[in-house]
């Protein structure tokens, strides 16, 4: 099981991507929440509000999920980070991977 994170500039875009990935069964569940991001882009310090999408998915779905995020995303270089879940409630993990 994986947790996959990406960030979006707007809540609307984050919700659109989250809904599409769940509807297309690339993710079992998606959560959207606001954050403040700090990063260097084109040589300049950036500070902006963004929305994180946290996706729960099976490892086998990662390649398709990442490709679909890139298709739907407005950023030229979206953050797509996957973290393997080492422990989880067995029933929940079974649901996510099913």
Our count of domains for the chain comes to 1
Average pLDDT, integer, range 23-31: 98
Domain at 47, CATH number: 3.30.70.120
Q: What is the pLDDT of residues 58-90, one digit of tens each?
A: 999 999 999 999 999 999 999 999 999 999 999
pLDDT at 98 over 90: no
pLDDT of 19 reads 98
pLDDT at 29 over 90: yes
21 contacts 65 by C-beta, under 8 angstroms: yes
Q: Does the predicted model carry a pTM greater than 0.75?
A: yes
At residue 56, what are phi and psi to the nearest 5 degrees? -110, 125
The whole domain housing 19 covers 2-97
Tokens 């490892």, residue located: 59
pLDDT at 47 over 90: yes
């Amino acid at each position: 099981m994986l947790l996959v994170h990406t960030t979006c500039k707007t809540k609307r875009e984050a919700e659109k991507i989250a809904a599409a990935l769940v509807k297309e069964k690339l993710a079992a569940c998606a959560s959207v929440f606001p954050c403040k991001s700090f990063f260097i882009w084109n040589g300049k310090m950036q500070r902006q509000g963004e929305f994180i999408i946290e996706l729960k998915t099976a490892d086998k779905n990662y390649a398709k999920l990442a490709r679909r995020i890139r298709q739907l995303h407005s950023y030229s270089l979206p953050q797509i980070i996957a973290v393997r879940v080492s422990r989880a409630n067995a029933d929940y993990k079974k649901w996510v991977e099913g």
